Structure 1
Amino acid sequence: MKKTILLAVGLITFISCKDDKKQEEKTEVVAETLAPVSDAMMENSVIYEANIRNYSPEGTFNAFAKDIPELKKLGVKVLWLMPIYPVSLKNRKATGDLSVEDIKDPKEREKYLGSYYATSDYTAINPDLGTEADFQKLVKTAHDNGMYVILDWVANHTGWDHKWITEHPEYYHKNAKGEVTDPLNPETGKSWGWTDVAHLDYTSKVLYEPMKNEMLYWVKEHNVDGFRCDVADNVPTEFWQFAIPKLKEVKPLFMLMESSKAYLFNGLFDMGYGWDAHHLMNDIAKGKKTVKDWDAYVAKHNTEYKKQDIWMNFTSNHDENAWQGTEYERQGDAAETFAALTYLMPGIPLVYTGQEYDFNRRLKFFEKDEITRQKGKMFPVYEKLGALKNTNAALNGGKNPADYKRLTTSADASVLAFERAKDGSKAVYVANLTNKPQTFTVETEGDFSNYMTGEKVSLAKGQKFGFKPWEYWVLVK
């Protein structure tokens, strides 16, 4: 009997171990092997800017990480996390004009969490977001889903609680009295209004090594894949020339700059902000500019920048949403049309927290202000556009982008039509960029599929088309 029982126990243990092994194998199959950052992965990426605080009721890494598989459906390959570091308590912002010290009611004061960008410790985790282990779990979840994680890096200033202010005052700008200052306009000497932060000074270069080491910590200890560098052109180019190569000695990195300065490419940053295109989209939506201005922008852009300079295309981001309004405030009924344009034009498209859920409200910048996550019109739009971006070489937008060819129409001031082509793949964008119906011809021929609707479209020379206001086509072979 004992032998029978032992045999049974052994058999159960064997089966259990076998099942556990199967389960482990199943998990391993689900997880993707993430290749290092490369020029190739940049060609067909989509970026998602994650506002962790406002993404969920919890506002934590763990709550966000649960939705990473949902973001994968949107074709997201790069996760940009807004600053994850502790926020300075001293001079913490309550509104654009007031600090928490100006709020007298203690209960009212509690709701103001301050700006993500007022960092009190570059190598610590904001406890409101979770723990170090939670962050590591988020990075692993992203990597397992084929996504790279880049951190928002604020090299231009720290919060007023940062230990460097007392331990290394030589790292900071000072006024005539020798007092550390917030960032000042160099032309007027007056404050920009960023009173919750202390301005770092790179003049003596004594700051180069410690700042590089702070960045290196996240690459070495947490396996992050790069950085989005806040106001990158306010930091001396020499610092980036010093730091970036040393960071890349550890592993290849994806470097995004909040800047459009041509001199910051050149082997330093991979991608810049497409501010000019973004502002032009807003102006066209408001009727202040036309497609003729778009053509002029493309021509100017092509003379000022190299083909391998990558641009981040967007209809919104955290700054635009908070201070200029949502894409629906700025672009109205044209929001989807321009969203599609950010995918079809050269570059890499950005989706900001909530855009995939049709979120139509300015998020409060200094306090908890949760988005609503309910799929409506835009999730399937971003899903389709993301799939096309990921898989069709005609939308390649990295350092070896697909060709961009403007297609002439009979209404070139109102209708934007262009073709992207690479490696035998072709995609065509046609859009009425006005708030009035347009009838026009387009100088191209062939049989296509309207990617967004699945309908067949045949283009012939001299054929007339009627488009409603802001109507657009994404045509593929």
Structure 2
Amino acid sequence: MTYYEFHVSRNTRKKYKFDKNLFALNGDFIIADFKQARILTEKINETRRIEGQHNLQVTAGQLNALGLLHEIYHYIIKHYEEKENNGVIARSINYLQQHLGEKELHDVLIEYINEFPPQKVFKGIQSPEEFLEDTTYAKPNREVILEELILLHLENNNPAAKNFDEFYDDEQLSKKVKYIEVIDSVEQFFITEKPVGKELLPLFQFLRKPIYSAPQSLEAQLDFILENWDVYIQDKFHKRILSSKDLIYEDAKLFIQQGGGEKATPPVPNYVLDKDFFQRIRSKIAAGMQLTKEETNFYYAEPERFTQDTDWMPRVVMIAKNAFVWLNQLSKTYQRSITRLDQIPDEELDKLALWNLNSLWLIGLWERSTASQKVKQYTGNPEAAASAYSLYDYVIAEELGGEKAFENLKHRAWMRGIRMASDMVPNHTGIFSKWITESPHYFVQRNDPPYPGYSFHGPNLSDDDRFEIRIEDKYYSKKDAAVVFQRKDNITGKITYIYHGNDGTNMPWNDTAQLNLLNAEVRESLIQTIMHVARKTPIIRFDAAMTLTKKHFQRLWFPQPGTGGAIPSRSDYTMTREEFDTAIPEEFWREVVDRMNAEMPQTLLLAEAFWLMEGFFVRTLGMHRVYNSAFMHMMMKEENSDYRELIKNTLDFNPEILKRYVNFMSNPDEETAVNQFGKGDKYFGVAVMMITLPGLPMFGHGQVEGFAEKYGMEYKRAYYDEYVDTNLVKRHEAEIFPLIQKRWLFSPVTNFELYDFIDDFGNINENVFAFSNQAGSEKTIVIYNNSYSEARGTIRKSVPKLRDSQNVSGRTLSETMGFNNDGNHYYILFNHKTKQEFLFNGSDLYDNGIYIWLQGYDYRLYLNFREILDTSGEYYRLNIFLNNRGVSSIEYALKELNLSGVHKEIEQLINAHNLELIEEFCFTCDPILENKGSSKDYKFDSLPIDIYNNLDALVREINYAFNPPVDANKLLEKITQDYNFVKIFHSSIKNLSAKKSFTTLINTISSVMTVGIEKDYKNGLLVLLVFVKNLLEMYKTSGNDIQEIYDKLLLQRALNNALTNYGYENITDDLRLLEIISSPEYVNNIKNMLDISVPKSSNFKPIAYSFIDQLFDN
């Protein structure tokens, strides 16, 4: 069996002190040692750094790929020689000897051996001559060296391998012997031999194809081989090529800094392929057809297995609080030390209950790893606590008061209807934890450092003398982010390297230790821990839950060949899908959900999951709720069409997923809500969306108060000196928190519909979100414009939605809302924001939908739908009159409309001209006295003709609006009589005012009666009083008091409009006075004042009593 070595030049071996072959080819089984590649590249890079050649750094992935290409070329030549053109290499030797001469060929082969010595020659075991005349597994070494010459030529002409030029530089060879001539001749020889491959190319051209296809990338050359030479290398190299690519990806993670810049928006889930695939599979099953392996795996991997909510779950609205930071803030607010959970004031819990927030998620509840605090303090934050996600054990932190303090808080919260929520971190523990101490085999680990440059000489982070814990040294200098830490057992002396927790997206979490779910004991311990947590809090949030799905746990830690590279060095531990499925037969989270449903069904399980796993977590794994980070990102960035697409895709595939989203505007890992959305209309528009969409709304710490600081998981206090924005809180209390009481209406998805907002030009405005929902008899329509630009348009037709297993369709607004389209039905909708009511005709809604005009970031939220059957046509008239305007009350507006004629005549009566005529009649002209001594002896004047005509028209309008009609002549007679009494009374006061003894009396009467000597505003009000008094008296019926009649006629509004038009200002109080002085109490008060102030001998008292009885006889 032929054995090949990948040779490097003698000088390079000496320079880098290589003492082993880098890669070997041994018959049918090829071994590539990633560890050896890492050690070698570290030697190369260290030497080059010393020489200042920083631009020539190489990676283990590149070196491995180069060696793999070398082996593949050898294999192709071997295959060609043995399977397709037997004895061709031997014939090529003969050809070269004939065309170049035996000596010239001999010199080239010997010089190659000298320049690139095989292991035996390099160690002095054989001379070059002896090696050349020898054989390797019965193959003459002349033929072996000729192959190496061919590959040497290819490698020197591969631009992608330029950083390795010194390994196989053929310059000296070209100068000393006829190397170039040998290459040219042997290439010419193969042109005449049997061609290779589908394109029927000569061997040399065939071997150059990968290089020509991707001259700058070794990885791409391997891709070319994988795609085009698979027929040759399938059994030998397929897996190794995939693993080699994984190693290249790992190197990229090490050399390319991760993170930085704006966070990317999560992609929009597209269920179309899945949905179509499912339908094809179901059709095959129904037809009794056999499924392929791929179809079987797909069908059984993602079945529909939702977990049904218990009664309280759909109404949960959560608020997050960083425990230490909150206690610090409360200490400042209440001016006393608050450091334990049982010291949290009842007032704070009362406030949460008043805000209708019914779930309190305390971040940092559990006992943390002391090593986490040490790491953070050693690396620059002396005030840091341990991270809330680097845990020692799931017991309440003693610093927060321990179990007793927590139970106190939990009890007080529950008395207010607030459920406690907590984190569970199933992916990892702290690097110093109970399990690291007692069960170190629970963790992903290895026996040697994955990279030769790692060193562990820093401080011991363990609090247990039985073992030591150290993170890699360059964490302290911030020069590197190692993937492992060191655990040294002081009893046995065993050293292991345990991987840090890592989701492959950024740097490892250097205060955590990654759990190994391949271990069944670990999975069971995690489930028991979850149940332990559930006994303390009925809501559990699983941190980074997606990392423990089979798909991603394998990708991260035991990748299939070709899928690695997420976490550096884990490509050393590849597993096939079959091997991995044997180790973890069932999804871990499905097992958790099934156990919890059976044993603790009143626990709400909430998964933090990304990477397009949201639907999978609730639909297949059965979680009650799952994070929907797309809501925050897309609404903040106004990627409105993408978020509408997300909702549409979900409704089309399975609407139940939408119900299980957790929607938020901030979470502990993201910027605060105020920094993302501000404090204005955009914030409140998105907040309304969050509350009114199906799912679970979640508020961040400080969101309601308007705090801008993002609290790190290691914070023990707030570093910003921030104050509560009371205006922001008040607006929450007015617009947001009342809606939470209706979560039973907003959270279901059965009747949820999303609508296209069609603008005036017939186009869909993607910036506007319009949706409706209903539960029982309650209905709602929500429209929000998530854009600075105004929007005008109509909602009429909903987007397609899956309504049963097969039916996907849209519906009209009238269908979904149950609007009657016969033309006689009207609908009153209450706008939550403006507190106005709107009137819509059922037929218009059916034909045209609802037309909306929204300013930038404005919203409409309709509630309290009422249906009216219009039998008289009054709502028809009102609808025309309002013309889509909102009013405080449709009922009031209808009254106004019905009284519009009356009010118009009142305004005509109380105009400037008429008031001047009346005031002149009452206060300027003296009455005609026929017999002195009694008011009855006065002669009554007739009213001015304009006044009389206006009063007559007013009475006619009143008789048109109300039944039974009144006697117009009688009313006019009474008004005329009263105005004459005002004239007489005013004349009497005027005569008395000339006498000094009556000064006190006159002042008293003027203040009480509002009648003065001068012609002024008070006199004008008395004129109005006469009119109002007689108008009310006309309609006074048994059982109705004056106030009821006043309200029924809407006189307040009519008089207000009339006097405003006349030019009076601030008349509200005076109009109230008109109501007051119409009351019996006021009349008695006047008479009492007269009894006290007027002498018994005075002739004024009978005149005054007569006036009062006449004017206030009601």
Confirm or deny a common fold (TM above 0.5). Answer: yes
From 109, 114, 119, the counterpart of 2:386 = 114
1:41–1:250 CA distance, 2 compared to 1 (3 A) = closer
Preserved contact between residue 159 and residue 198 of structure 1 (Cα < 8 Å): yes
From 741, 745, 750, the counterpart of 1:394 = 745
Structure-to-structure mapping, 1:26-41, within 5 angstroms: 38-41=309-312
Instruction: Give the Cα separation in 2 of the matches to 1:412 and 1:192.
Output: 41
After TM superposition, give the deviation of residue 355 of structure 1 in Å: 1.0
Preserved contact between residue 444 and residue 498 of structure 2 (Cα < 8 Å): yes
1:268–1:209 CA distance, 2 compared to 1 (3 A) = same
Q: Which has the higher contact order (CA 8 A, sep 6+)?
A: 1
Instruction: Give the Cα separation in 2 of the matches to 1:93 and 1:457.
Output: 62
Q: Deviations over 1:30-80 (max 9, x none)?
A: xxxxxxx95321222211122211123235423446312211122222222
1:44–1:459 CA distance, 2 compared to 1 (3 A) = farther
State the match for 2:862 in structure 1.
475
1:251–1:65 CA distance, 2 compared to 1 (3 A) = farther
Matched, 1:61 2:341: yes
State the match for 1:363 in structure 2.
711
Moved more, 170-179 or 151-160: 170-179
State the match for 1:427 in structure 2.
780
Q: Deviations over 1:81-130 (max 9, x none)?
A: 22311221214377xxxx32233xxxx62x111311110112x2222322
Q: Deviations over 1:237-295 (max 9, x none)?
A: 633333343344145211100015233224631000112222211220xxxx23x3332
1:44–1:367 CA distance, 2 compared to 1 (3 A) = closer
Q: Which runs of 5+ in 1 are unaligned?
A: 1-36
1:87–1:195 CA distance, 2 compared to 1 (3 A) = same
Preserved contact between residue 782 and residue 861 of structure 2 (Cα < 8 Å): yes
State the match for 1:71 in structure 2.
352
State the match for 2:589 in structure 1.
240
Preserved contact between residue 259 and residue 273 of structure 1 (Cα < 8 Å): yes
1:465–1:247 CA distance, 2 compared to 1 (3 A) = closer
Moved more, 346-355 or 295-304: 295-304
Structure-to-structure mapping, 1:128-139, within 5 angstroms: 128-139=399-410
Preserved contact between residue 153 and residue 227 of structure 1 (Cα < 8 Å): yes
Letter paired with 1:54? V
After TM superposition, give the deviation of residue 369 of structure 1 in Å: 3.2
Matched, 1:277 2:631: yes
Structure-to-structure mapping, 1:278-317, within 5 angstroms: 278-284=632-638, 289-290=639-640, 292-307=641-656, 310-317=660-667
TM-score of the pair, normalised by structure 1? 0.79
Preserved contact between residue 355 and residue 378 of structure 1 (Cα < 8 Å): no
State the match for 2:837 in structure 1.
456
State the match for 1:8 in structure 2.
none
1:168–1:393 CA distance, 2 compared to 1 (3 A) = closer
Where 1:318 maps in the other structure, the secondary structure is coil
State the match for 2:603 in structure 1.
253
Instruction: Give the Cα separation in 2 of the matches to 1:193 and 1:352.
Output: 26
After TM superposition, give the deviation of residue 206 of structure 1 in Å: 1.4
Instruction: Give the Cα separation in 2 of the matches to 1:408 and 1:161.
Output: 56
Preserved contact between residue 337 and residue 472 of structure 1 (Cα < 8 Å): yes
Instruction: Give the Cα separation in 1 of the matches to 2:418 and 2:385.
Output: 29
Letter paired with 1:117? Y
Moved more, 130-139 or 171-180: 171-180
Instruction: Give the Cα separation in 1 of the matches to 2:323 and 2:344.
Output: 7
Instruction: Give the Cα separation in 2 of the matches to 1:247 and 1:392.
Output: 25
Where 2:828 maps in the other structure, the secondary structure is strand
State the match for 1:195 in structure 2.
510
Letter paired with 2:736? L
1:250–1:91 CA distance, 2 compared to 1 (3 A) = closer
Instruction: Give the Cα separation in 1 of the matches to 2:623 and 2:528.
Output: 18
1:416–1:407 CA distance, 2 compared to 1 (3 A) = same
From 682, 693, 716, the counterpart of 1:345 = 693
1:392–1:114 CA distance, 2 compared to 1 (3 A) = closer
After TM superposition, give the deviation of residue 305 of structure 1 in Å: 4.3
From 313, 317, 321, the counterpart of 1:50 = 321
Where 2:530 maps in the other structure, the secondary structure is helix
Where 1:198 maps in the other structure, the secondary structure is strand
From 492, 501, 516, the counterpart of 1:183 = 501
Instruction: Give the Cα separation in 1 of the matches to 2:750 and 2:736.
Output: 17
Instruction: Give the Cα separation in 2 of the matches to 1:278 and 1:440.
Output: 26
State the match for 1:219 in structure 2.
534
After TM superposition, give the deviation of residue 311 of structure 1 in Å: 0.7
State the match for 1:24 in structure 2.
none
Instruction: Give the Cα separation in 2 of the matches to 1:305 and 1:275.
Output: 19
State the match for 1:127 in structure 2.
398
After TM superposition, give the deviation of residue 455 of structure 1 in Å: 1.8
After TM superposition, give the deviation of residue 147 of structure 1 in Å: 2.1
State the match for 2:616 in structure 1.
263
Structure-to-structure mapping, 1:402-421, within 5 angstroms: 402-406=751-755, 408-410=757-759, 412-421=765-774
Instruction: Give the Cα separation in 2 of the matches to 1:418 and 1:185.
Output: 36
After TM superposition, give the deviation of residue 167 of structure 1 in Å: 2.0
1:69–1:245 CA distance, 2 compared to 1 (3 A) = farther
From 65, 86, 90, the counterpart of 2:367 = 86
Instruction: Give the Cα separation in 2 of the matches to 1:45 and 1:422.
Output: 17
Q: How many residues align?
A: 415
After TM superposition, give the deviation of residue 346 of structure 1 in Å: 1.4
State the match for 1:11 in structure 2.
none
Where 2:758 maps in the other structure, the secondary structure is coil
From 320, 325, 328, the counterpart of 2:674 = 328
Instruction: Give the Cα separation in 1 of the matches to 2:617 and 2:517.
Output: 17
Where 2:686 maps in the other structure, the secondary structure is helix
Instruction: Give the Cα separation in 2 of the matches to 1:213 and 1:339.
Output: 37
Letter paired with 1:315? M
After TM superposition, give the deviation of residue 468 of structure 1 in Å: 2.5
Preserved contact between residue 757 and residue 766 of structure 2 (Cα < 8 Å): no
Point out the structure with the larger helix share: 2
The structure with more radius of gyration: 2
Preserved contact between residue 431 and residue 511 of structure 2 (Cα < 8 Å): yes
Letter paired with 1:330? Q
Instruction: Give the Cα separation in 2 of the matches to 1:153 and 1:365.
Output: 14
Q: Deviations over 1:396-434 (max 9, x none)?
A: 34xx65422315331623322222222221111122211
Structure-to-structure mapping, 1:134-145, within 5 angstroms: 134-145=405-416
Preserved contact between residue 418 and residue 430 of structure 1 (Cα < 8 Å): yes
After TM superposition, give the deviation of residue 454 of structure 1 in Å: 1.4
From 773, 789, 806, the counterpart of 1:436 = 789
Instruction: Give the Cα separation in 1 of the matches to 2:716 and 2:403.
Output: 21
State the match for 1:171 in structure 2.
442
Instruction: Give the Cα separation in 2 of the matches to 1:401 and 1:48.
Output: 26
Where 1:43 maps in the other structure, the secondary structure is helix
Letter paired with 1:134? A
Moved more, 328-337 or 238-247: 238-247
Preserved contact between residue 59 and residue 129 of structure 1 (Cα < 8 Å): yes
Instruction: Give the Cα separation in 1 of the matches to 2:590 and 2:791.
Output: 50
Instruction: Give the Cα separation in 2 of the matches to 1:44 and 1:184.
Output: 34
1:64–1:345 CA distance, 2 compared to 1 (3 A) = same
